[in-house]
Structure 1
Amino acid sequence: MRTYQFESSAEAGFWGRCRQGLLLAVLLLVFLTGMRVWLVLGYAPADTAALKQDWLHALLMGLRFDAKWVASTLLPAWLLLALAQALPGGLRRLLDQLLVRVYAPLAVAALTLVSIVNHFYFGFYLSPINPIVFGLFEDDTGAILSTVWRDYPVVSGTLAWLAATALILWLAGRSRGRSAIAGWGKPAQALMVVLTVLGFTLLARGSFGTFPLRETDVAVSTNSFINSTVPNGPQALYTAWGIRKEMDLGRDPYAGLKRFGFKTPLEAAHALGWQGDDEAALARSVSTFAKPSLSAPRPHVVFALMESFGRELLNTQDPVANDVLGRLAPHFDQDYYFSRAISIEHGTFPSLEGLLYGTPISPLTQSGYGYKPFPFSAVKPFKDAGYKVVFITSGSASWRGLDRSLKVQGFDEVDGMQRILQRFPNATTGTWGVDDDYMFRFASERLAEADRKGEKLMLFTLSVTNHPPYRLPADYRKRPLDVNRLPAHRTADTRLAQSIMETYQYANDSLGGFMDRVKGSALASHTIVTATGDHNSRSIFEYPDSSILPLKYGVPIYLYLPPAMRPHGKVDTRAWASHRDIFPTLYAQALGMAPSWWAGRNLLAPASRPTAVSFIQDEGGQGIVISDDGAAQNLTRPAYLRWNGDQLQPAGANVPEALRAETRRAQAWLALSDWRVRRAALAEKR
């Protein structure tokens, strides 16, 4: 009597075994697709039934993910089977039996088990497997297992898993007999082996494009439920594990404080001038916001975070010979441009989280800590003041889980390239999403719609076009650019420099078009717009040392205020600043809220000895502070720098006392920021 196992090597032969492997791949594809259909039938909301085209896209993209995992699972066995043909008969048969009796059953069992677990996990969390799953090993494991046993069909599910595994293996083993390929000549057989391996490799990669199939590809629809059905169980677990490896806060909320030289949060607070002695009161003070003023003007507020909008490239602006700003140039002249600012972090996602949550720990919202709202989300004061809070990106809304995490943290809507393409079906696209001009056109329409509805809108946008691989829309008319206008420390790759300058110009020109529309409409009287870069322009400049640290991490901060809201006194746009100062400025101007005692400052108000402070990892440790007195890197073990003209050099033993004091305050700010996040995150995990 034949079992579920494959027939012996002698019966099958190499090509017969290959045929069994192909049949196994097809059966696994059918199983994984069937699991997706089961999930949709079990959990799909009724209002998604009409989205037939989106469901078709989800099914096709899901099939690509299924093929990726089937190919990735079987490719190692396929290669070993092919290589085994060069081994002596005994070793070849041993390897064959190991693949058939050990590897194949374990591989099939693993894929089917994770897929079934993903189905029931979805039923509880309305999400594919995510980092919360690892709480099984961190929380009360016994209590969790007891709940699973009580609330889920563990016995019948286990039986279904074993039955599915056995059935797939048995059906694959039913393919018997000699393959026709066995009669081909050796060169033809060798070519077939190579083509088969290449085919499996391509399926495992999942894409012909620049990037392999990846997490952002799950965004096939503007409906988050449809997108959540695209990844299969193995893909969801793989993504969750990657996030898990990136983020583990341990169990000590004081860990960050200690790194910056403070024993307690009170000690750090006292370094910033706080007078209290109650840690609970301090926690409330740094984790909550003042109430918006009832008499505040409450204009629309737009925050544009621009990909790679670095300050040094902007410094080369020449409207005739090197127009890197395009339509944005006159707005920089007319409005406020803070020309000595640095970014909060040196990457898009860390900067995004640093701005929105004031966190020196990233990725935070992707991890298991980000599934509950934080009281210090930067958009909370706008929500409390009755604003509708909307996020728009020209990239995928599911990038880094934004479509989920932003809604948890207070955003009402999260729109990405799929929503923009619905509005502009002919929009040009690149590797990372639609081109930025269409995002800004979409944002303009969203503001006009808010006016019609009587809404107050807080709009946060994230651009993507100025990102490698660099390309321009075919219909964009370039303005003059001259690589020779760049400073000597630019990259030696002139072609790369030219392409970066072109996309930099395009992105800025798109933002300039948005400002043209705002100022040319009724929005001009009741809309605040600020723009900055997520980080400096990378690849185009080389920074071998810290002598030009402010340019290495420099980004512009642009601010437009309606004429009636502009301050009467002179604004010092040359004062040192950083990303941490932007939201306090917006709170002050839009909501009438005074800046917190411990965080950033209002850029429009006079400041005594302003500093630019950042979370950036530099010189082996976290944190940077820059001021007129000099700079310090690696604030866990500060390395001090002094000005020598317009460049910095090591201070040695001759460190100004003012710089030491500024560094101590910056350390205290980083320490409290770390403690605030750890305290909230670890409390949620308990």
Structure 2
Amino acid sequence: MRKILTQILIFTALYMMVFAIMRAVMLSSIIVPNNSNWGGVFLYGLGHDIRTFSAIFLPLFLCGFLSYFSGFIKLNLSKAYQILSSIYLAIISFIVAIFAFINFYYYQIYQNKIDMFIFGLKDDDTTALLSIIWSDYPVILILIIALIFTIFCVWINAKILKIKFKKTNQPLWVLIICNLILLYAYSIALRGHPTYNALRASTYQFSSFKPFNEISTNPIMALSWASKEYKNQAHFPPVKMSRIKELEEILFPIFSTTSPNANHAKTHIHFNLMESFGLGLLQEDERLEKELLGSLYSHFQSDFVFRRFLPSTSGTIDSLNRILFQSPIINLTSSKFQKTKLPFTAIDTYKKAGYKVVFAYAGNAAWYNINYFLKAQGVDEIIDETILISQYPNAKSSKHPYGIKDEYMYNKIFEIFNNATTPTIVISLGISNHPPYLHKGQNELNLDLNNSEINRYATDYKALLNAYSYANNSFGEYINRVKNSKFKDNIIIAATGDHPNREYKFDYKTEIAFGHSVPFYLYIPRNLQHNIYYDKYRIGSHKDIFPTLYNLSLNKTKYLSMGGKNMLSKPSDDRLEFAMHINVWANKDGIYPNSSPNGYKFQNYTTLKNSDEVFNLSDDKAEFHKLYEEFSYSVLALRLGLSVE
């Protein structure tokens, strides 16, 4: 037993040292506010690690107690234990080393601990993701380091197993008490607290500074939390109608109705969801904005643009689900409801109004099973890279792991509208600003960035900015064509980002919300601009996109609003004047990160950047985000027929 305890204690200490070094490196890569309790990262990290490794070493611990009985059954299992424990520790050592690197790079990309987005490796285009990981990260070096660490740990284990302990002459009652104390201490280590299960997924936060909470977690434990959350999303529990009505009274009505509109179902609509179209890269710098927006810059100057705007989530499929289907379930498109027609989606609303619905994607429509799900929702035509390559042979040369250049998708969309004989809505999704950032324009950017600006990027900033600029310019060139077309007065174009660029680090001191922000762009011909109220500093988010489009194109039509508002009508209900992201929400009074018990004031009314002025939250603000998420799922369950009285 003493030899096994020595194994557990030495390797626990060694593994905790590895993760402590990992946390120190992660802390060095972020901007930490003055007087922050960075020591708490290591203290709470210690607690997470003890919980994790006490669970991992539980089989060895139990073997120690079984060794007491080996004399009774006349078996000498020491040789077998030496072999099996060495293999077990070799596997754990390799996993620990690999997860230290995974956690570091995952945080750099997502600004978050390991969460269920990691399962995109399985649900997304696995081959494409693996090729990006291979090209962008030092995979061979990481594997070599992990292998060396594993060999080192096996060597240490061999030394431990050769230790000769003196036989103890303590009375039996002393040994029993010692072992009972040991059992109690181990149970505390497993729970993280003497009386309750501490440091769980729901209680791991200790700081109002989000990075500290994320960095303190143990990556292996975080993966287990993510796995449980991911599996829970496969279950769709029923909801009570009484609770839905209660949430409506607390928050806002589920449904709204559009204003009278004389152009009902006559106007074409194009909604464009742009990959990683974040505002952070522009940093409110006009010189940089002109270069990075390219042809889109002039349209940003002449049309409607909202910059105090948040995406729904930090993932493409998740944001697409919430915008089109009002679904908080990330894997809805591949769930047991993948062939179920969901009422009151954006597709359903426009189909009932008489529109032809087209989905255009510069990638492969098999992504997240989106093609089959969209067909079940009533989409009339699905266009993806396969179709685009067949029609535009040059597109094949631009193929990268996630698809082809956006310009070919825009060419096809223009053709659709140019030949349309009935009102048509096109929902499109570009990919050119997706890693590995291979797409670029004819002329490469030559930006003169200083060291502090370059340090913002977690990857090759030149490739990233060229891809960002190319995607924006391609969209701008498409709008140029539309504005000079025969249908220029009969189309509304809306565009936003699915999420900001994940490989651009934001400053948690001033960019708690701004770091997530994306623009919301609208082109509306002058002949369709009736009763427009435009406040470019109005706060909004993805939930507001289709309520705005409905009110611009449909007449007295009932729609699922979910707190959404028409961004181009005068505010009439303060309850709807908010922006919602899964990590933070905001209203006119300030910014409310999920990880903080406090709110933050804005620097001024023109930006989403926050000041360092903190204020206490009222009960309704403290509970709002949680209630909104519950409301979102409850309404989805209602539409799936999962409500009960």
Tell me the TM-score normalized by structure 1.
0.55
Partner of 1:380: 348
List per-residue Cα deviations over 1:140-159 (Å, max 9, x = no partner): xxxxxxxxxxxxxxxxxxxx
- Answer yes or no: is 1:414 the counterpart of 2:382: yes
Q: Residue type matched to 1:363 in 2?
A: N
How many Å separate the matches in 2 of 1:597 and 1:242? 30
CA distance in 1, matches of 2:503, 2:400: 19
Asked whether the equivalents of residues 377 and 410 of structure 1 are also in contact (C-alpha less than 8 Å), the reply is: no
RMSD of aligned residue pairs (Cα, Å): 3.6
Alignment partner of 1:680 out of 623, 639, 644: 639
Answer 1 or 2: higher relative contact order, Cα 8 Å, separation at least 6: 2
CA distance in 2, matches of 1:580, 1:206: 30
CA distance in 1, matches of 2:289, 2:233: 46
Query: Which SS does the other structure have where 2:281 is aligned?
Result: helix
Q: Is residue 269–residue 668 contact of structure 1 (8 Å, CA) maintained in 2?
A: no
Return closer, same or farther for 1:397/1:382 CA change in 2, 3 Å cut-off. Answer: same
Query: Which residue type is aligned with residue 449 of structure 1?
Result: N
Measured against aligned partners, the alpha-carbon deviations of 1:145-204 in whole angstroms (never above 9, x if no partner) come to xxxxxxxxxxxxxxxxxxxxxxxxxxxxxxxxxxxxxxxxxxxxxxxxxxxxxxxxxxx9
CA displacement at 1:294 relative to structure 2: 6.8
Question: What is the alpha-carbon distance in structure 1 between the residues aligned to residue 541 and residue 524 of structure 2?
Answer: 19
C-alpha distance after superposition, 1:622-660 (max 9, x if no partner):
xx32123112232xx8733221635546877x4365xx5
Structure 1 residue 626 corresponds to structure 2 residue 586: yes
Judge conservation of contact 2:238–2:642 (CA < 8 Å) in 1: no
Q: For the structure 1 residues 338 and 678, does the alpha-carbon distance in structure 2 shift closer, same or farther, using more than 3 Å as the test?
A: same
Alpha-carbon shift at residue 664 of structure 1 (Å):
5.3
What are the residue-to-residue correspondences of 1:71-220 with 2, within 5 Å? Answer: 210=132
Instruction: Tell me the equivalent position of 1:436.
Output: 406
Secondary structure of the structure 2 residue equivalent to 1:333: helix
Matched-pair contact (CA < 8 Å) for 2:458–2:505: no
Query: Which residue of structure 2 lines up, in the alignment, with residue 639 of structure 1?
Result: 597
Partner SS state of residue 586, structure 2:
strand
Q: What fraction of aligned residue pairs are identical, expressed as a percent? A: 28
Aligned to 1:158: none
Tell me if the contact between 1:393 and 1:439 (Cα under 8 Å) persists in the aligned partners. yes
List gaps (5 residues or longer) in structure 2. Answer: 1-125, 135-226
| 1:377 Cα offset (Å) | 1.3
| 1:326-475 correspondence runs (5 A) | 326-427=294-395, 428-450=398-420, 454-473=421-440
Output the CA distance in 2 between the equivalents of 1:555 and 1:579. 9
Residue 264 to residue 416, structure 1, CA distance change in 2 (3 Å): same
Residue 461 of structure 2 corresponds to 497
The one of 601, 609, 612 aligned to 2:565: 601
C-alpha distance in structure 2 between counterparts of 1:209 and 1:564, whole Å: 48
Q: Deviations over 1:27-78 (max 9, x none)?
A: xxxxxxxxxxxxxxxxxxxxxxxxxxxxxxxxxxxxxxxxxxxxxxxxxxxx
Q: Which residue identity lines up with residue 560 of structure 1 in the other structure?
A: Y
1:300-325, CA deviations, whole angstroms, 9 ceiling, x for partnerless residues?
00000000000111345545896000
Aligned partner of 2:546 in structure 1 is 583
Letter in 2 for 1:343: P
For 1:117-154, what per-residue CA distance to the aligned partner results, in whole angstroms no more than 9, with x for missing partners? Answer: xxxxxxxxxxxxxxxxxxxxxxxxxxxxxxxxxxxxxx
The answer to whether the 8 A contact 2:318-2:330 is kept is yes
Measured at CA, do residues 376 and 289 of structure 1 come closer, stay the same or move farther in structure 2, by a change above 3 Å? farther
Partners of 2:289 and 2:568 lie apart in 1 by 33
Residues in 2 aligned to 1:405 and 1:291: alpha-carbon distance in whole angstroms: 31
2-structure distance, mates of 1:429, 1:519: 29
TM-aligned CA distance change 1:499 to 1:578, over 3 Å: same
Aligned to 1:69: none
Corresponding position of 1:513: 477
Query: How far 1:561 sits from its partner (Å)?
Result: 0.2
Q: Which residue of 441, 444, 452 maps to 1:478?
A: 444
Distance between the aligned counterparts of 1:535 and 1:321, measured in 2? 18
Whether 2:278 is the aligned partner of 1:313: answer no
Q: For 1:444, give the aligned amino acid.
A: F
Work out whether residues 338 and 558 of structure 1, in 8 Å CA contact, stay in contact via their aligned partners in 2.
yes
CA distance in 1, matches of 2:590, 2:453: 23
Q: Could you tell me which residue of structure 1 aligns to residue 494 of structure 2?
A: 530
Alignment coverage as a number of residue pairs: 419
Task: Measure how far apart 1:569 and its partner are.
Answer: 5.2
Structure 1 residue 267 corresponds to structure 2 residue 235:
no
Closer/same/farther in 2, CA of residues 672 and 242 from structure 1, 3 Å limit: closer
Deviation at 1:661, TM superposition (A): 4.5
> In the superposition, relative to structure 1, how do residues 567 and 664 fare at CA in structure 2: closer, same or farther (>3 Å)?
farther
8 Å CA contact retained: 2:320, 2:498: yes
In the alignment, what sits opposite 2:630? 671
Aligned amino acid, residue 642 of structure 1:
Y
Tell me the distance in 2 between the aligned counterparts of 1:670 and 1:527.
Answer: 34
Q: Could you tell me how far 1:434 is from its partner in structure 2?
A: 1.0
Letter in structure 1 aligned against 2:239? P
1:602-627 C-alpha deviation (Å, 9 max, x unpaired): 000112656443251x3xxxxx3212
Distance 2:378 2:458 in 1: 45
Cα distance, 1:490–1:567 mapped onto 2, change above 3 Å: farther
State the secondary structure of the residue aligned to 1:491.
coil
SS of the aligned residue for 2:492 comes to strand
Could you tell me how far 1:292 is from its partner in structure 2? 8.6
**SS of 1:324's equivalent?**
helix
Q: Which amino acid aligns with 1:253?
A: V
CA deviation string 1:432-473 (max 9, x = no partner): 1110111111111111121xxx11110011000111111125
Task: Work out the CA distance in 2 between the residues paired with 1:648 and 1:631.
Answer: 7
User: How many Å separate the matches in 2 of 1:270 and 1:207?
Assistant: 44
Q: CA deviation at 1:415?
A: 0.9
1:575 Cα deviation (Å)?
0.7
Give the Cα–Cα distance (whole angstroms) in 1 for the partners of residues 263 and 402 of structure 2. Answer: 42
Structure 1 gap segments, 5+ residues each: 1-203, 213-240, 258-262, 275-284, 619-623
Alpha-carbon distance in structure 2 between the residues aligned to 1:332 and 1:399: 31
